[in-house]
Amino acid sequence: MKLATLKNGTRDGRLLVVSRDLSKAVYASTIVDTMIEALENWATVEEPLQRRYEHLNEGMLKEAFAFDPSKVMAPLPRCYQFVDASAFLNHGNIMEEAYDLDVKKDKGIPILVQRQSDDFLGPCEDYPFITEEDNGDFEGEFAVVVDDMPMGLSAKQAEKHIKLVMILNDMSMRTHLFRELGMGFGFINAKPATVFGPVAVTPDELGDAWRDGRVHLDMQVKRNGEWFGNPNGGGMDFSFGQVLSHLTYNRNLKAGAIIGSGTVSSKEWKTVGSACLAERRALDKIEFGEFRTDFLHFGERLSFEVFGKDGQSVFGAIDHKMVKAS
């Protein structure tokens, strides 16, 4: 099924069930009011939500209305925990080569960072940042949302707790990144609010594109309407199950926790491009010995979208403009 959250003036919005082709929606409120409620009571609400989804797709619901992505929030507008991974090792390898970094990796252990979870942006909201000197950047990613998870799970066990899949633009302010890394702790100024696609989908909605804990579909990225890249999510070196297994080694995860994939990246970058400006700039330096790609400017428009094998948009599009914060 596909779910979204309609803006209604509250912090958690109103849960919608959205049709497969993203054209129609109905309120889920006779079953459950919000996305976090649904996730905390998934065993109870999954079946009735699924029935409503099927009836919506069959045209049986007179109360259905046109789905408008510009009127929705992030599918889960806030959560208790958001952890981002760097599960595409190619992205890190490119950055390390270009900037001559000495990163102490532990083979077999995914890189994770705790992220801001109380302020997400919707797919069509303008993105405000303070100054162009912050070197604004984008990162196209996939993410999963889980129900309650106990500690000590294997990767296979962890995958069973994945209830929803989403896309996101993990915004970065690169001016602050190396300073914060050099201080020995995580990101704060370098990683402001994250933007999520309009719709979250259950893994079964992806068909055979969801396998081995990965989304085997291209992340289509455009900058000002021009193609920037379409790397495939199937290239994750660590599956979502492996990331979750590591994360729950010695802690429980509560329903609604979000786990990001990290920048979608491919070794075939010459043909499939990138999903991140910093990666493209690093490739510029490797190939040409100089940076040829600018960081973000005010007024620029970014879009991120994923299409299924049937050619239909799976999650809807993130389509937003960079603006100066007032």
Residue 272 token pair: 């499939």
Instruction: Read off the pLDDT of residues 205-233 as tens digits, 9 standing for 90 and up.
Output: 999 999 999 999 999 999 999 999 999 99
**Model pLDDT, residue 222:** 98
**Model pLDDT, residue 185:** 79
**Model pLDDT, residue 108:** 87
Contact in structure between 14 and 122 (CB atoms under 8 Å): no
- Extract the residue ranges of the chain whose pLDDT is less than 50: none
What are the φ/ψ torsions at residue 14 (nearest 5 degrees)?
-130, 125
Distance CA 98, CA 18 (A): 43
**Model pLDDT, residue 184:** 80
**Model pLDDT, residue 323:** 98
**Model pLDDT, residue 97:** 85
SS3 state of residue 17 = strand
**Model pLDDT, residue 99:** 77
What's the Cα-to-Cα distance from 252 to each of 146, 160, 187, 244, 270, rounded to whole Å? 11, 15, 23, 10, 41
